Amino acid sequence: MEMDDLPKGELPPHLELQRTRVVCAADAPSYTESVQYSGAYMAYDVDNSLRMEDFRKNFRVEIKSLNEDDIEFDLIGIDAALANAFRRILIAEVPTVAIEKVYIANNTSVIQDEVLAHRLGLVPIKADPRLFDYKTDEEIANEKNTIVFKLDVECTHMGERVKNASDQLKWLPAGSEMPPDSKTKFTSFGCSQDSLPAFTSEAIASRYPDIVLAKLRPGQAIEIEAHAVKGIGKTHAKWSPVATAKYRMLPEVVLLEDIEGDLADELVRTCPVNVFDIEDMGPGERRATVARPRDCTLCRECVRGDGWDKRVQLRRVKEHFIFSIESTGALPPEVLFTESIKILTEKCQRILTELL
Amino acid sequence: MKKKKVKKKIIDNVNNRQQTHQPLCIREMEFPIKSTVDKYQLLPAFLKVRGLVKQHIDSFNYFINCEIKKIIHATGNEKVTSDVDPNFYLKYLDIFVGEPCVEQDYIYEPITPHQCRLRDMTYAAPISVDVEYTRGREIVVRRGKEGKQEGALVIGRMPLMLRSCRCVLSGKNEAQLAKAGECPLDPGGYFVVKGTEKVILIQEQLSKNRIIIDTDSSGNVAASVTSSTHERKSKTNIIVKHERIFLRHNTFSDDVPIVVVLKAMGMESDQEIVQMVGRDPKYAGILAPSLQECSALGIHTQQQALEYLGVKKLLSCLYTGLLGVLQVDEARDILATVVLAHVPVHQFEFRPKCIYIAVIIRKMLEAMLNTDAVDDKDYVGNKRLELAGQLLALLFEDLFKRMNGELKKSVDMTLAKANRSTQFDIAKCIRPDFLSNGLEHAISSGNWTVKRFKMDRKGVTQVVSRLSFIAALGHMTRITSQFEKTRKVSGPRALQPSQWGMLCPCDTPEGEACGLVKNLALMTHVTTDEEEGPLIALCTTLGVEDLSMLSGEELHSQHTYIVFFNGIILGVHRRPQRFAETLRKLRRAGKIGEFVSIHVNPGQHSIHIASDGGRVCRPLVIADNGVSRIKEHHMKELKDGFRTFDDFLREGLVEYLDVNEENNSLIALYEADATPATTHIEIEPFTILGVCAGLIPYPHHNQSPRNTYQCAMGKQAMGNIAYNQLHRIDTLLYLLVYPQRPLLTTKTIELVGYDKLGAGQNATVAVMSYSGYDIEDAIVMNKASLDRGFGRCIVLKKSVTALKKYNNRTADRIVAPDMNTSAKGGVQVAPRHQIQDRDGIAAVGEMIRPGDIYINKQSPINTRDNVMNPQAMPDSAYKRTPQTYKGPPGECAVVDKVLLTSNDENHFIVKCLIRHTRRPEVGDKFSSRHGQKGVCGTIVQQEDFPFSERGICPDLIMNPHGFPSRMTVGKMIELLGGKAGVMSGRFHYGSAFGEPSGHADTVSAISETLVNHGFSYSGKDFIYSGITGYPLQAYIFMGPVYYQKLKHMVLDKMHARARGPRVVLTRQPTEGRSREGGLRLGEMERDCLIAYGASMMILERLMISSDQFQIQVCTKCGMMGYYNHKLKIALCTYCKSGENMATMKLPYACKLLFQELQSMNILPRLQLSEA
């Protein structure tokens, strides 16, 4: 069938909108998924297949902010499946080091042994996991797979109540000192860890010094040794290197018609995050403009009232992700992301080798 | 429009008055307070003086300080005399309950309740009496000094209620309580008996000494009065039979005509009777048949009537054999003291009793003419609550009487002996054990038996539930009814409108006890008895005309009201409203007790004054012409600490009303609703709920049964039990590792201290469907949340080992752990003994696995015969009786605490507390605070969980299908409020009915907060799927909800068995999880298999896998033989031959049955045929 009035090689605007945008109406979002099938728009003579060169051409990464713990960057020209893969890997598969075994010599505090051990496990440790090996149950702890900490605190009888924070966790680079009366310790280190070039500059410690582990009353004491090993977030959340890794699609706010006068004021007023601005169009004439669409949190206030859904449309750009990573501190966030890419490539490689 | 006008008028009135009388500056202060928010402060003030369980403590204090003294001074109790020696007497002068202490090696040491809990002792104080008695010829007085027990005679030990006036904890501050090992938030009000905490439940029963008009099963009107005095309890019924009125009483063998009774009491003239009841022809007409019957019986004089009654009475053992005149006397005596025993009869002056009966009859006649006059038995005003004090008083009096009886017996025994070597001293005969054991046993078993009153109640006490703080608190406010649980009547179970404000409408169990077990509301108080004498005198001075002066005519004239005082007719009054008002004024001025109730009943032309104990009442703000008496400045003074709740009471701003008096008042919920007719204003509307229902946020938005479910579930939630929870050694203790206070609180939560001892966690909940493992209310949980400590709990289990001492002076012992010599010759601790210290008891902090021995105990083999040297018996004289840990297989627990102590019988006991920390698993039960329970359906990795644009990942996912049918709108508002609370950093409130008074945040205000923080007003967020990465095609309702972890956990319940133990008798598999039993293939399942035709399956299930047994059967005689292994042949013992023997298989139980039948001379014969 010939349809002459339709231009060849491009989609009609409503389909283009459906393909590239999520429309967030007041009641529900629609067109949330992307169309995967390469021949989906064959009728319009549009090729929907994913091509490497297109991807190379379109794909961009823009870092918006970066500091010690957080990063926010835009991933442009990528499908949600891929972005999500990075997010999932960051949460569950990038390894870190966390305390796994706690040897308790003495604990007279109110906090129970298991609970104390659980709390210790969740303390983020600033140690580069790439320098360590995974430790299996059968393996003997050595300097390559175990970091040993000691916590030996006491609240003296005359003293006040003391808080026991994570900075009192002392690193034992030479390995375990337990059991005290035996020659064979729990670890067998070949050399002291602080002789290794990576750790000479900075001692391994908790990322934050002020995490409360326990509180001691006069006369109470804790004497423990904690062994940290490498692991991944899938086994336990304590190994997750991120507080969270998340993304959101780029917000796009469209004014479907010109909004002027009092309506414009109303629009500006309703938005709690100040997405809109007022543009002066000469004496007494005001027009609303979309100034900061990126700030939109999708509270849908602007499309809530009567008739407002005809004036404003909230959208999300499908292939544009605002990705943010909050690191727990073991690795800087940008390194975490590159690590996640490495893990994904590794996985792809594995599939490829197994397929061939 | 109309309403507005009225309101304006009131304000005008106020203004006018102020303008004329007061200077300007005070005018503002005098202005009525506008919003109820300010009045809320009264509640904490009230709870400060009254406390949450004040009713228990007040009642117990009253018993210990007053009632107990009344008991010993009561006639019949005060003196012990002897039949043998008329000169002998023992007189009780005074009684005193001392300080709690324990005798140890003849030294009295003070004790704390916590010591008693740990050491399995009873928290009790000595009861000492001052006595005067004769020793030989001299009169001895033993008197304690200023209430101290020295010098006085100890007659027993009284278990003490915690926080009562004699308890060491009363009046202590938080630091002192902590020193005593006690939690400051613990309400007290219970007893510690033999180490267990016992609460005496509040018992609900019908009012004593009140006339209750009811209809019997045949629809006739009947009146019943349960008389109760110290000496006697009796029930009198006046019934209508064949249109005639009879008196029914269990001292008479038959129903006796009421007119005969009246005549026997000296009301000989029929005219007088009719006048007493009421001259109105409508009454006289109904009364006529009764009068006729009396004359038909030929009874005209008092003597005749008494003779008639003398015949009718049941033979009592006292007067058997005596006839004639005595029978008349006896009948008179019965009428005076037994029938309607509470109406006092002095020297056979029957007139008050006659009038009382006449009034009953009049009420009955009224009820016959007008069915509205029938009393409602379920009406709360007709109910009395019996508290610990009253119950203990009953028990104590009974025990005291019995003790005196025993004493008298022993006195008679000793004095009857002619020549005694020593002077008889009765003080040495008193055995304090009798009282102590009686009281202790009653409280610990809950069986209340008072033979005198034919009282035999079971389950009066319960072990205080320490599952959670709220469970314990809720236990103190519980009320049980004496009503039978099995009866199918709705009346007593239904919610009574008169329960308003007194009893919680939500908190009742489901099932058989539904509506019979109730709970007190937050501000309810239960009264204790009050002195009657002064009140009666006051009534007389206020113009109550004495009965003896009145004729029947005057009694029922149009304008006179009969004045009842605690059920007894005092007289009449001609200006009832004025009388009532004066009395109320006196009460508000503090001249008479604050709990005296004055109730005018215009319909029955009566005024009821009540000062008896057990009435429920609650405080209300007094209003004049609809204007509250509490002004702004009062509340300010309260806030600044210049005022207490008692000041409000003393100044007549607030007063207590009981249910009956509430009927004389018009109570407005808020000031705004008050009209000039309003007499009182509620303090806070949410006080109609009790403690448990008070935890629910926005309960007024929920479907009502949901609140009831939550009331039951709140008691099963794990959390904090008390501040001293880690010092307690309870049989079972559930604790949450990281309990939180709810983000959405209520005022009740703050008042009861739930914010300090919470039982739950604020979980971020997404309401959506996920994975299919969320059907039927199951919830999906985030694994990372569980990793980080959500829902983690600690289960502590106690095990007690007592080292028994045997009669032959041998005793159990604990020895060092067993040693094994290894192959190399070294000595090692045996594998299952490794957790023990060198003393043979498990070391604290050791990990303990099922099968480990934590106390290496040994018992002597011979515990009967005398042993030469019990201390130095050889090891061979002992057998091992170790304590082995039995826990869930594969799990590893920790020894938390070991306590070595001795109880008050000087038995050495070892208490071990074993701790098990659990993280939630599939099948564990959780619930929100809205009766929405669900089990964990699946646990999902965090990366698979949906996340919001802000990166928020829910802790759990709940299926939206839980909402439409349950209609728990409150939960939705809780979610919204919690979300707003998180964002704004302020705890939001959701008190019941709190929106108008500002104790609950409105949805619109919450929505506004949400919008200001960039959320949708509806609480629905834009969510991305964690699996695909695409946004979901719906906005998801997501936010924090307070979730409780309930005590039902899979680990305690899961059970499966392939092979296992069998019962010795039947050889069938054991039953029940605790015995590792099999899963029964029952009758119905068997029916299914039969219907299906799976015969081999039946055979396999019912015999082969169960108790298959092979027997030898003699085909000749059909009896069972045996197999002789020596001869290797089967033999029949009956036929004495091995021929004709056959082998067959049958269930062992079947073989057992045959043998049992044989043992009772029934011979089953097996006739075999070829198969």
pLDDT at B1148 over 90: yes
- My answer on whether A343 and A207 are in the same domain is no
Cα–Cα distance measured from residue A19 to residue A22, given in angstroms and rounded to the nearest whole number: 8
Strands B779-782 and B933-940: parallel
Shortest alpha-carbon distance between residue A10 and chain B (Å):
25
Any domain includes B126: no
3-state SS, one letter per residue, for B361-395: HHHHHHHHHCHHHCCCCCCHHHEEEECHHHHHHHH
A288-302, B1-15, B420-434: range with highest mean pLDDT:
A288-302
Q: Helix axis angle, B388-416 relative to B432-445, nearest 10°?
A: 150
Any domain includes B1170: yes
Any domain includes A4: no
Any domain includes A304: yes
pLDDT at B794 over 50: yes
Q: What's the token pair of residue B318?
A: 């006292």
- My answer on whether B1071 and B998 are in the same domain is no
- My answer on whether A320 and A185 are in the same domain is no
- My answer on whether B992 and B886 are in the same domain is no
| Cβ distance of A299 and B1017 shorter than 8 Å | yes
The pLDDT value recorded for residue B271 is: 81
Interface-testing mutation among B976, B1024, B1028, with chain A (most A C-beta atoms within 10 A): B1024
The count of structural domains within chain A is 2
The average pLDDT across B370-375 equals 81
**Interface subset of A 139-178, CB within 8 angstroms of B:** none
Any domain includes B1076: yes
* B777 annotated active-site: yes
Q: For the ranges B148-157, B318-327, B937-946, B1065-1074, which has the lowest average pLDDT?
A: B318-327
Model pLDDT for residues A192-244, shown as the tens digit of each residue:
877 777 777 778 888 888 899 998 888 889 999 999 999 999 999 999 999 98
Q: What is the DSSP string of B910-947?
A: EEEEEEEEE---TT-EEEETTS-EEEEEEEE-GGGS-E
The pLDDT value recorded for residue B15 is: 45
| Cβ distance of B1014 and A246 shorter than 8 Å | no
ipTM, interface predicted TM-score of the complex: 0.94
| Cβ distance of A301 and B1011 shorter than 8 Å | yes
Any domain includes B603: yes
Q: For the ranges B209-223, B269-283, B789-803, which has the lowest average pLDDT?
A: B269-283
The pLDDT value recorded for residue A2 is: 56
Percent of chain A with pLDDT over 70: 97
- Residue B1102's domain spans which residues? 1059-1106
- My answer on whether A267 and A337 are in the same domain is yes
- My answer on whether B752 and B641 are in the same domain is no
The pLDDT value recorded for residue B132 is: 87
Helix, strand or coil, per DSSP, at residue B818: coil
User: Of residues B428 and B991, which shows the higher confidence score?
Assistant: B991
Interface-testing mutation among B738, B846, B943, B1028, with chain A (most A C-beta atoms within 10 A): B943
- My answer on whether B681 and B657 are in the same domain is yes
Mean pLDDT of chain B: 86
The pLDDT value recorded for residue B788 is: 94
Percent of chain B with pLDDT over 70: 94
Any domain includes B574: yes
Residue B8 pLDDT level (bands cut at 50, 70, 90): very low
Any domain includes B711: yes
Which chain B residue's Cα is nearest to A236?
Answer: B787
- My answer on whether B1145 and B1162 are in the same domain is yes
- My answer on whether B911 and B999 are in the same domain is no
| Cβ distance of B1024 and A247 shorter than 8 Å | yes
The average pLDDT across B1053-1065 equals 91
Query: Catalytic: which of B333, B755, B777, B904?
Result: B777
Is A6 in CB contact (< 8 Å) with chain B? Answer: no
Chain A residues in contact with B1015 (beta carbon < 8 A): 297, 299
For residue B794, give the nearest of A83, A107, A112 by CB distance. A112
| Cβ distance of B1024 and A122 shorter than 8 Å | no
For residue B951, give the nearest of A33, A240, A246 by CB distance. A246
- My answer on whether A69 and A107 are in the same domain is no
The pLDDT value recorded for residue B302 is: 81
Q: What is the DSSP string of B952-966?
A: ---SEEE-GGGTTTT
Residue B898 sits in a domain whose CATH number is: 2.40.50.150
| Cβ distance of A92 and B942 shorter than 8 Å | yes
Integer-rounded Cα Rg, in Å, for chain B is 37
- Boundary-marking domain end, from A240, A260, A287: A240
Residue B1097 sits in a domain whose CATH number is: 3.90.1800.10
- Boundary-marking domain end, from B896, B918, B940: B918
Residue A5 pLDDT level (bands cut at 50, 70, 90): low
Shortest alpha-carbon distance between residue A87 and chain B (Å):
8
- My answer on whether B569 and B644 are in the same domain is yes
Residue B545 pLDDT level (bands cut at 50, 70, 90): confident
Percent of chain B with pLDDT over 90: 38
Helix, strand or coil, per DSSP, at residue A81: helix
- My answer on whether B673 and B597 are in the same domain is yes
- My answer on whether A321 and A256 are in the same domain is yes
- My answer on whether A111 and A224 are in the same domain is yes
- My answer on whether B1020 and B1098 are in the same domain is no
Residue B13 pLDDT level (bands cut at 50, 70, 90): very low
- My answer on whether B658 and B678 are in the same domain is yes
Is A335 in CB contact (< 8 Å) with chain B? Answer: no
Any domain includes B212: no
Cα–Cα distance measured from residue B817 to residue A102, given in angstroms and rounded to the nearest whole number: 27
The pLDDT value recorded for residue B36 is: 46
Shortest alpha-carbon distance between residue B892 and chain A (Å):
11
- Boundary-marking domain end, from A213, A240, A267: A240
Mean pLDDT of chain A: 88
pLDDT at A4 over 80: no
C-alpha dihedral sign at B1003, B1006, B1011, B1017 = negative
- My answer on whether A102 and A206 are in the same domain is yes
Which chain B residue's Cα is nearest to A82?
Answer: B1029
Is A107 in CB contact (< 8 Å) with chain B? Answer: yes
pLDDT at B1007 over 90: yes
User: Of residues B51 and B46, which shows the higher confidence score?
Assistant: B46
The average pLDDT across A148-162 equals 82
Asked if residue B159 lies in contact with residue B395, where contact means CB atoms within 8 angstroms, the answer is no
B611-640 b/e (C-beta count within 10 Å ≥ 16 → b) = bbbbbbbbbbbbbeebbbbbbeebbeebee
- My answer on whether A279 and A181 are in the same domain is no
The pLDDT value recorded for residue B646 is: 85
pLDDT at B60 over 60: yes
The pLDDT value recorded for residue B528 is: 87
For residue A248, give the nearest of B943, B949, B1035 by CB distance. B949
- My answer on whether A28 and A64 are in the same domain is yes
Residue B149 pLDDT level (bands cut at 50, 70, 90): low
The pLDDT value recorded for residue B28 is: 46
Chain B residues in contact with A83 (beta carbon < 8 A): 1029
- My answer on whether B751 and B814 are in the same domain is no
- Boundary-marking domain end, from A240, A273, A301: A240
For residue A32, give the nearest of B794, B942, B1033 by CB distance. B1033
Asked if residue B55 lies in contact with residue B200, where contact means CB atoms within 8 angstroms, the answer is no
Any domain includes A10: no
Is A319 in CB contact (< 8 Å) with chain B? Answer: no
Any domain includes B105: no
- My answer on whether A64 and A112 are in the same domain is no
Taken as a whole, chain A contains a residue count of 356
| Cβ distance of B917 and A30 shorter than 8 Å | no
Interface-testing mutation among B738, B787, B948, B952, with chain A (most A C-beta atoms within 10 A): B787
Any domain includes A148: yes
Residues 6+ apart with CB under 8 A from B800: B120, B909, B910, B911, B912
Asked if residue B603 lies in contact with residue B373, where contact means CB atoms within 8 angstroms, the answer is yes
The pLDDT value recorded for residue B26 is: 45
| Cβ distance of A299 and B915 shorter than 8 Å | no
- My answer on whether A202 and A309 are in the same domain is no
The count of structural domains within chain B is 5
Residue B950 sits in a domain whose CATH number is: 2.40.270.10
- Boundary-marking domain end, from B686, B714, B747: B686
Which chain B residue's Cα is nearest to A32?
Answer: B1031
Model pLDDT for residues B1103-1126, shown as the tens digit of each residue:
999 999 999 999 989 999 999 999
For residue B726, give the nearest of A110, A236, A249 by CB distance. A110
Shortest alpha-carbon distance between residue B696 and chain A (Å):
29
Chain B residues in contact with A30 (beta carbon < 8 A): 1033
- My answer on whether B947 and B989 are in the same domain is yes
The pLDDT value recorded for residue B624 is: 86
For residue B1035, give the nearest of A28, A234, A244 by CB distance. A28
Chain A residues in contact with B947 (beta carbon < 8 A): 244, 246
Distances (CA, A) of B853 to A113, B229, B798, B840: 21, 59, 15, 9
The pLDDT value recorded for residue B804 is: 87
Is A25 in CB contact (< 8 Å) with chain B? Answer: no
- My answer on whether A100 and A222 are in the same domain is yes
Model pLDDT for residues A22-63, shown as the tens digit of each residue:
999 999 999 998 888 888 888 888 888 888 998 999 999 999
The average pLDDT across A334-356 equals 93
Based on the number of CB atoms within 10 Å of its own CB, is B94 exposed (0-12), middle (13-18) or buried (19 or more)? middle
Q: For the ranges B302-311, B643-652, B896-905, which has the lowest average pLDDT?
A: B302-311
Q: What's the token pair of residue A240?
A: 């997750």
Chain B residues in contact with A22 (beta carbon < 8 A): 1031
Q: What is the DSSP string of B1011-1072?
A: HHTT--TTSEEEEE-TTT-SEEEEEEEEEEEEEEEBS--HHHH----SS--B-TTT-PBP-S
For residue A272, give the nearest of B953, B1011, B1031 by CB distance. B1011
- Residue A74's domain spans which residues? 16-94+241-356
Residue A141 sits in a domain whose CATH number is: 2.170.120.12
Among the listed residues B463, B443, B519, B919, the one whose alpha carbon sits nearest the alpha carbon of residue B693: B519
Residue A313 sits in a domain whose CATH number is: 3.30.1360.10
The average pLDDT across B847-856 equals 92
